[in-house]
Amino acid sequence: MADTILVLNGPNLNLLGEREPEIYGYDTLEDVAAQCRAEAEPAGLKIDLRQTNSEAEMVEWFQAGRKGLAGIVFNPAGFSYAAYPVLDAIKLVDCPVIEVHISNIHRREAEWRSKSIMTQVCTGIISGLGVAGYALAVRRLVQLAKK
């Protein structure tokens, strides 16, 4: 598993490419997976991309991946604001976790969208760079894995 980067996606991201394309663009999760693989595979790392609308399932994925991963890229989506069980599960993980948001959460229409509770337990955050943020997060995890 130390050769794997887990890419976890929260609620409604299964509709990426269809849902509010003026905010999130037209790329799909399949496109995201391809971009992540392009960064990881030359370094001998695998990508395991998952999406769930279930907070319980997300907690289980973090618990299962708490040891032995090269890193985790996490787009919490709607879990960003009140999913404390997910936040607690991230604390159990022994690898770097990079939080990714497709839109710039600090420029969104509602102030509450700018306050992700996950940021406090993540290694870093990328926000507002579209789906390219995923590949950038993977690139950083590849760098960290080489050290």
Catalytic residue among 24, 26, 84, 106: 24
Q: What is the dihedral of CA 52, 72, 120, 132, to 10 degrees?
A: -80
Residues 6+ apart with CB under 8 A from 96: 71, 72, 123, 124, 140, 141, 144
CB atoms within 10 A of CB 116: 20
24 included as an active-site residue: yes
101 included as an active-site residue: yes
Catalytic residue among 26, 101, 106, 134: 101
Q: Give me the active site residues, please.
A: 24, 101
